[in-house]
Chains A and B, each alone.
Chain A
């Protein structure tokens, strides 16, 4: 997630190198620093409750259904579009999942892929007028917003709330991964979580070393060794700390596992694949992309289709967390997702923004809510603070981008 580059192979002192790397990558590191500062402040104001295993675990689980939306929304904004329909689409598809299990008696393993497929279809339907007729996506998805809101109310019309009695399905939003059956000393920790954390650290270090070795073999520029080691230690420490905190509680939740999978897959696709490059090219300059042999229409369908699928996933996560489908499920999710994407550094001008940034953005926004709830701050002030943070993040992003020019 953290990657730094310097323009020339620096040979200065450690402090000089560090300063240089920080300055050149301030936009990438800015959000991480902001997240640490926010968490630090809340840790102090809540006497450590904020950083307790229980609270952190809860925080991550609450972030899940917004985070997956923010990942999809990042790509939508990167290609210079917007999708306002995702909130109520998530709500509606959550209700469909509930109805399929409760009234039609389908098993969760059938319902989940079915609902995800419906999400893809919904996304493609939103994309159709945008791609074929050039209708602004703001309008096309606003129509979707109204339609899915109506459909959600129809779906929940009978009872108002559909209770989901399926424990397997509800585990997605509330359950934790099973532990290894080791007794004795290991009772106190969630051992599987620890093992996964260790594996993640190992994988991360191996990847970084491998990439550095290849770069050196090609004779490309790399970070100074001391800074490189510092980065390895820092990121490993971070993964280790989070894993440790979670392991002393219930371990990794299924929501976090799903979230990590989504981020991992999308990060890989956007940064390493031809498709990802095509998406960013369309965002950077659609005309140039089209004339370079990229079908802009195809990219619009793919990005909106993925957004629809992630909306469905968000709906499943939310319904499962509440163990029910409600008439108001998904309300304002779209705006939370958009805010998370912007806090995470996506640019409305198109072509710029990372999915990892959006996840950090989602964590920042959810941390604010969680922290202020613990401090029992009045909800009115919470909105104002979140608004101010959103504005500050975007201003910071624009200012650093200008400085980089």
Chain B
């Protein structure tokens, strides 16, 4: 057996007050797909940042052996030069540039000091074939879907003769087809000799592709499992990740009781002047008190647009149709109107439009309801800290203080801050858009438990989710959205993955 391509030994990385990595050892064999799993804050990202030189040599202790040599990376450039490429959840492509320009960005093919564009386009075509992406190299990135953009990123990495490809939550933003395609591609790359590290919260994916799996917990290596010896299974992984057995992924909710209709939407149409097309077509649905209504569908089916159109229409669609909230016909001109009427919207994109990353936990939690902690428009900062601490405790937000910037929190804790912000508004209807995207199993369970508590207290929840198990596990009723239309409605007893997928591809 050849020596491993990567060995990280005794890696310890400390931040002020926190030991993010504690004597972590991590080895990757040549030509394998090695999955790295763990809860948010377990240290996966930190470990990869140490490996790629984001945290330069000297800021951590321990050794990195890559490709048979001890490495002391001072920057990402150093690690790239030795053949390590990381593809992050947030893609690093220039939207206004073409596919071929992006693939060779920073690595331009030169001839006589000038860029040889013909050769660039030809080589880009080869790279695209390698990742089985059938697009014109001259297309602009912004015209491609997220799934295709991801493949362009991988093509970019391959063009640099990458030896170790690290994918950080690559399928978080992909639909099932694109995800399956990507996993297939990873297997193909492995067979061509490219070693891959996959970081994922989706355990089914991990089980599907992994040769070996390493579990991290609280900054320590818990165990490395070998799939070929049959050591990898969902219950085992969950147990190692959380350090306890979670009996059920979806907590049960006894004695369901539904009250009157809280939200009713009739003949709802929306036209987007920015996109120049109709985004929603003649939608009709309702949500009752104490009910979790799932909105299933493929990515891009129009569910986020629906949420925005209901929540004060900040995207300025031209809307026709009737919106009835708690028995009253309403027109919301801005999100503020919707909030006052008792509607809250937890967005899909936490970092993009959910949180103010440079502000601290308390400022984010109170933002949508400052009036509650102010008298005569003057904020009572002590009441603010008190409120924030209440949510920090009740939601189990892991942060040293409520004066910590939310940018420094892990994804799961950021999501809890988002939820706290909207619970502080005391809404009647909570719209959750992909509530557990990019969140680990433990935090997911906490959020599901919270959702159950909320509906039992009389709140109503509209849950937009692209994860079928989540839709089936949490909803009381499911609407299936397809190309901006309600393609069907299923009581939970009749819903199953096949029916939903069939309806989701109706239009």
- Are the CB atoms of A273 and B368 closer together than 8 Å? no
- Chain A 63-77, CB within 8 Å of chain B: the 1/0 string? 000000000000000
With CB as the reference atom, state the residue of chain A lying closest to B355. A288
B386 cross-chain contacts in A, Cβ below 8 A: 218
With CB as the reference atom, state the residue of chain B lying closest to A296. B314
- Are the CB atoms of B367 and A277 closer together than 8 Å? yes
A272 cross-chain contacts in B, Cβ below 8 A: 378-379, 381
A residues touching B (Cβ–Cβ < 8 Å)? 5, 7, 214-215, 218, 220-221, 272-275, 277-278, 280-281, 284-285, 287-295, 351-352, 405
A sample of 11 cross-chain residue pairs with beta-carbon separation below 8 angstroms, ordered by A number, consists of A7-B400, A273-B374, A277-B367, A281-B363, A285-B356, A288-B352, A288-B356, A288-B367, A290-B334, A293-B335, A295-B336
- Are the CB atoms of A220 and B382 closer together than 8 Å? yes
Looking at the assembled complex, report how far the CB atom of A134 sits from the nearest CB atom of chain B, in whole angstroms.
Answer: 11
Most buried by B among A5, A293, A405: A293
Given A272-B378, A273-B378, A288-B353; A281-B314 close (CB under 8 Å): no
Given A220-B385, A273-B377, A277-B379; A289-B356 close (CB under 8 Å): yes
B336 cross-chain contacts in A, Cβ below 8 A: 293-295
- Chain B 350-386, CB within 8 Å of chain A: the 1/0 string? 0011111111000100011011001001110110011
B460 within 8 A of A: no
Looking at the assembled complex, report how far the CB atom of B304 sits from the nearest CB atom of chain A, in whole angstroms.
Answer: 12
B339 within 8 A of A: yes
- Are the CB atoms of A284 and B314 closer together than 8 Å? no
A289 cross-chain contacts in B, Cβ below 8 A: 356, 367
Which of A277, A290, A291 contacts B363 (CB under 8 A)? A277
A275 cross-chain contacts in B, Cβ below 8 A: 377
Given A274-B374, A291-B347, A293-B368; A352-B358 close (CB under 8 Å): yes
B421 within 8 A of A: yes
- Are the CB atoms of A288 and B377 closer together than 8 Å? no
- Chain B 16-27, CB within 8 Å of chain A: the 1/0 string? 010000000000
Instruction: Please measure, in the bound complex, the distance between the C-alpha atom of A290 and the C-alpha atom of B408, giving whole angstroms.
Output: 23
A351 cross-chain contacts in B, Cβ below 8 A: 356, 358-359
Instruction: Please measure, in the bound complex, the distance between the C-alpha atom of A7 and the C-alpha atom of B379, giving whole angstroms.
Output: 22
- Are the CB atoms of A284 and B358 closer together than 8 Å? yes
B318 within 8 A of A: no
- Are the CB atoms of A284 and B377 closer together than 8 Å? no
Looking at the assembled complex, report how far the CB atom of B281 sits from the nearest CB atom of chain A, in whole angstroms.
Answer: 24
B interface residue count range (under 10 / 10 to 19 / 20 to 34 / 35 or more):
35 or more
- Are the CB atoms of A291 and B374 closer together than 8 Å? no
Looking at the assembled complex, report how far the CB atom of A217 sits from the nearest CB atom of chain B, in whole angstroms.
Answer: 8
B residues touching A (Cβ–Cβ < 8 Å)? 17, 311-312, 314, 334-336, 338-340, 345, 347, 352-359, 363, 367-368, 370-371, 374, 377-379, 381-382, 385-386, 400-401, 403, 408, 421
Given A214-B382, A277-B379, A287-B353; A7-B359 close (CB under 8 Å): no
B374 cross-chain contacts in A, Cβ below 8 A: 273-274
- Are the CB atoms of B335 and A291 closer together than 8 Å? yes
With CB as the reference atom, state the residue of chain A lying closest to B407. A405
A280 cross-chain contacts in B, Cβ below 8 A: 359
Looking at the assembled complex, report how far the CB atom of B235 sits from the nearest CB atom of chain A, in whole angstroms.
Answer: 38
B382 cross-chain contacts in A, Cβ below 8 A: 214-215, 218, 220
B367 cross-chain contacts in A, Cβ below 8 A: 277, 281, 288-289, 292, 294
B314 cross-chain contacts in A, Cβ below 8 A: 290-291
Looking at the assembled complex, report how far the CB atom of A318 sits from the nearest CB atom of chain B, in whole angstroms.
Answer: 32
Instruction: Please measure, in the bound complex, the distance between the C-alpha atom of A7 and the C-alpha atom of B340, giving whole angstroms.
Output: 36
- Are the CB atoms of B358 and A218 closer together than 8 Å? no
Given A218-B385, A220-B385, A351-B359; A291-B379 close (CB under 8 Å): no
B353 cross-chain contacts in A, Cβ below 8 A: 285, 287-288, 290-291
- Are the CB atoms of A274 and B356 closer together than 8 Å? no
Instruction: Please measure, in the bound complex, the distance between the C-alpha atom of A351 and the C-alpha atom of B451, giving whole angstroms.
Output: 33
Instruction: Please measure, in the bound complex, the distance between the C-alpha atom of A352 and the C-alpha atom of B403, giving whole angstroms.
Output: 15
Looking at the assembled complex, report how far the CB atom of A7 sits from the nearest CB atom of chain B, in whole angstroms.
Answer: 7
Looking at the assembled complex, report how far the CB atom of A361 sits from the nearest CB atom of chain B, in whole angstroms.
Answer: 20
With CB as the reference atom, state the residue of chain B lying closest to A292. B368
A220 cross-chain contacts in B, Cβ below 8 A: 382, 385
Given A274-B377, A285-B353, A351-B358; A291-B401 close (CB under 8 Å): no
B347 cross-chain contacts in A, Cβ below 8 A: 291
- Are the CB atoms of B379 and A273 closer together than 8 Å? yes
- Are the CB atoms of B339 and A293 closer together than 8 Å? yes
Looking at the assembled complex, report how far the CB atom of A208 sits from the nearest CB atom of chain B, in whole angstroms.
Answer: 14
5 A-B pairs with least C-beta separation: A287-B353, A284-B356, A293-B336, A292-B368, A293-B339
- Are the CB atoms of B17 and A284 closer together than 8 Å? no
Most buried by B among A7, A272, A285: A285
Looking at the assembled complex, report how far the CB atom of B400 sits from the nearest CB atom of chain A, in whole angstroms.
Answer: 7
Instruction: Please measure, in the bound complex, the distance between the C-alpha atom of A82 and the C-alpha atom of B405, giving whole angstroms.
Output: 26
Instruction: Please measure, in the bound complex, the distance between the C-alpha atom of A289 and the C-alpha atom of B370, giving whole angstroms.
Output: 12
- Are the CB atoms of A287 and B379 closer together than 8 Å? no
Most buried by A among B354, B358, B363, B403: B358
Instruction: Please measure, in the bound complex, the distance between the C-alpha atom of A220 and the C-alpha atom of B388, giving whole angstroms.
Output: 12
- Are the CB atoms of B356 and A290 closer together than 8 Å? no
- Are the CB atoms of A290 and B335 closer together than 8 Å? yes
A294 cross-chain contacts in B, Cβ below 8 A: 336, 367
Instruction: Please measure, in the bound complex, the distance between the C-alpha atom of A351 and the C-alpha atom of B353, giving whole angstroms.
Output: 15
B311 cross-chain contacts in A, Cβ below 8 A: 291
A291 cross-chain contacts in B, Cβ below 8 A: 311, 314, 335, 345, 347, 353-354
Looking at the assembled complex, report how far the CB atom of A106 sits from the nearest CB atom of chain B, in whole angstroms.
Answer: 34
Most buried by A among B354, B400, B421: B354
4 additional contacts, CB 8 Å, given A274-B377, A281-B367, A293-B335?
Answer: A218-B386, A273-B374, A288-B367, A293-B339
Looking at the assembled complex, report how far the CB atom of B495 sits from the nearest CB atom of chain A, in whole angstroms.
Answer: 30
Instruction: Please measure, in the bound complex, the distance between the C-alpha atom of A288 and the C-alpha atom of B356, giving whole angstroms.
Output: 7
With CB as the reference atom, state the residue of chain A lying closest to B352. A287
Which of A7, A214, A284, A292 contacts B357 (CB under 8 A)? A284
- Are the CB atoms of B359 and A274 closer together than 8 Å? no
Given A280-B359, A285-B353; A292-B379 close (CB under 8 Å): no
Instruction: Please measure, in the bound complex, the distance between the C-alpha atom of A83 and the C-alpha atom of B415, giving whole angstroms.
Output: 36
Instruction: Please measure, in the bound complex, the distance between the C-alpha atom of A239 and the C-alpha atom of B354, giving whole angstroms.
Output: 43
B368 cross-chain contacts in A, Cβ below 8 A: 292-293
Looking at the assembled complex, report how far the CB atom of A207 sits from the nearest CB atom of chain B, in whole angstroms.
Answer: 13
Which of B352, B359, B377, B400 contacts A281 (CB under 8 A)? B359
A287 cross-chain contacts in B, Cβ below 8 A: 352-353
Most buried by B among A220, A281, A291, A295: A291
Looking at the assembled complex, report how far the CB atom of B439 sits from the nearest CB atom of chain A, in whole angstroms.
Answer: 19
- Are the CB atoms of A292 and B421 closer together than 8 Å? yes
A295 cross-chain contacts in B, Cβ below 8 A: 334, 336
Looking at the assembled complex, report how far the CB atom of B322 sits from the nearest CB atom of chain A, in whole angstroms.
Answer: 23
Which of B312, B352, B359 contacts A284 (CB under 8 A)? B359
Looking at the assembled complex, report how far the CB atom of B348 sits from the nearest CB atom of chain A, in whole angstroms.
Answer: 11
Looking at the assembled complex, report how far the CB atom of B374 sits from the nearest CB atom of chain A, in whole angstroms.
Answer: 5
B363 cross-chain contacts in A, Cβ below 8 A: 277, 281
B335 cross-chain contacts in A, Cβ below 8 A: 290-293
Instruction: Please measure, in the bound complex, the distance between the C-alpha atom of A288 and the C-alpha atom of B352, giving whole angstroms.
Output: 7
Looking at the assembled complex, report how far the CB atom of A354 sits from the nearest CB atom of chain B, in whole angstroms.
Answer: 14
Instruction: Please measure, in the bound complex, the distance between the C-alpha atom of A5 and the C-alpha atom of B340, giving whole angstroms.
Output: 35
Instruction: Please measure, in the bound complex, the distance between the C-alpha atom of A7 and the C-alpha atom of B360, giving whole angstroms.
Output: 14
With CB as the reference atom, state the residue of chain A lying closest to B338. A293
Instruction: Please measure, in the bound complex, the distance between the C-alpha atom of A351 and the C-alpha atom of B368, giving whole angstroms.
Output: 17
Instruction: Please measure, in the bound complex, the distance between the C-alpha atom of A378 and the C-alpha atom of B404, giving whole angstroms.
Output: 48
A352 cross-chain contacts in B, Cβ below 8 A: 358
Looking at the assembled complex, report how far the CB atom of A13 sits from the nearest CB atom of chain B, in whole angstroms.
Answer: 20
